[in-house]
Amino acid sequence: MHTLQQTVADSVELKEEGVFSGQQIRLVLEPAPPGQGILFVREDLPGAPCIPLRPENILGTDGATVVSDGRHSVYLVEHLLSALHGLGIDNLIVRVWGPEIPLFDGSATVFVREILCRGIRVQPVPKRFVEVVQPFQVRNGVGIIRFRPADQFIIRVRIAFDHPLIGEQSLSLNINPITYQRELAPARTFGFKDDLLRRKEKGILRGGNLSNAIVLDEKGVLNGKLQRSDEFVRHKALDLVGDLFGSGWAFKGEVEAELSGHRLHIEALKNLLSAPGATRLSDGIPTRIFFFLPPCPQPAAKRGIDLGQSMVR
């Protein structure tokens, strides 16, 4: 694992239609100083409100992970967070003109490719980790997540869908930038045609098209081919890597997730962080103090008073 903090060497700019809002979304990833962490800035709202990536600002829903300070939100952060966690980026300013992060092809490939294209800058400050020090588990309905201490970041994921192409799939991986890029980053999200049509009719999905995900009917894939037969569990692992970055600190330990989703990932992470003696920060501080720390400092470009209203309800 890396021992020093990292940021991007230069800014990355991306644009695409948002699947929830249907708006054209502009996204700029900027270098940030050591200790800054990950900071989301809603540039389209008055005063450009900032939302630091911190445990109390992350929410898991059934279909996406959301960064929110209670008034302002950014939807669909999980694949970007996964790319940052997988590549070992600690500090970044995420400027977004709209209420969501673009989905692109439903994987983390675009984020990984563009960040590596600009380069990664190593910063002369020790990297910050959340470290599991005692076994801990969270169960919610059929889903369960188990955490165990380990010197690496190890994930074990199992999914089960009553579908001829999916069935039961499992994957174990020691996550580092090489394994992440090779094994997880290209795996695309997936959805079922009937569910997507229902969400379109309800107005939940105002944008998006068949290039944003693997779309399945009851028999097979409606839009092209799978990259690998277990692309589904690889994407679930990609999501888990993203959600485990919800504290804003890199994760150290073993995580076993069965039949889980964003809601359970985030619930489990928050429970883990607030459980007495279950985790510590890399400088030895119990993680429960997380919830009492002041917000991250805002970047120099932050200006004005926050008058914005959340665009996501």
The annotated binding site for Zn(2+) is made up of 79, 235, 239
To 10 degrees, the CA torsion angle through 246, 251, 253, 255? 30
Distances (CA, A) of 8 to 141, 143, 149, 196: 40, 35, 29, 35
DSSP string, 39-97: EEEETTSTT--EEE--GGGEEE-SS-EEEE-SS-EEB--HHHHHHHHHHT---EEEEEE
% helix, strand, coil for the chain, step of 5:
25, 35, 45
The nearest distance, CB 133 to Zn ion, in angstroms, is 29
Q: Is 262 a catalytic residue?
A: yes
Candidates 55-63, 184-192, 214-222, 298-306; binding stretch for Zn ion (CB under 5 A): 184-192
Site string for Zn ion, 227-256 (x = CB under 5 A): ------------x-----------------
Binding of residue 131 to Zn ion (CB under 5 A): no
Q: Which residue has the tokens 């059934």?
A: 62
DSSP string, 135-168: -EEEEETTEEEEEE--SSEEEEEEEEESSTTTEE
Region at 77 (left for phi over 0; alpha for psi -120 to 50; beta for the rest):
alpha
Size of the site for Zn ion (CB under 5 A): 2
Q: How far apart are CA 124 and CA 2, in angstroms?
A: 12
Please say which residue, 45 or 157, places its beta carbon nearer to Zn ion: 157
Phi, psi of 247 (to 5 degrees): -75, -15
Please say which residue, 231 or 239, places its beta carbon nearer to Zn ion: 239
The nearest distance, CB 78 to Zn ion, in angstroms, is 5
Annotated binding-site positions? 79, 235, 239
Binding of residue 189 to Zn ion (CB under 5 A): yes
Please say which residue, 49 or 261, places its beta carbon nearer to Zn ion: 261
Please say which residue, 48 or 59, places its beta carbon nearer to Zn ion: 59
Candidates 5-13, 49-57, 189-197, 219-227; binding stretch for Zn ion (CB under 5 A): 189-197
The nearest distance, CB 66 to Zn ion, in angstroms, is 13
Catalytic residue, chosen from 2, 85, 163, 262, is: 262
The nearest distance, CB 187 to Zn ion, in angstroms, is 9
Please say which residue, 115 or 278, places its beta carbon nearer to Zn ion: 115
CB-based burial, 283-310: b 16+ in 10 Å, e otherwise: eeebbeebeeeeebebbeeeeeebebeb
3-class secondary structure, 216 = strand
Please say which residue, 234 or 252, places its beta carbon nearer to Zn ion: 234
Question: Any idea which residues carry the catalytic annotation?
Answer: 262
Q: Can you give the binding site for Zn ion, defined by CB under 5 A?
A: 189, 239
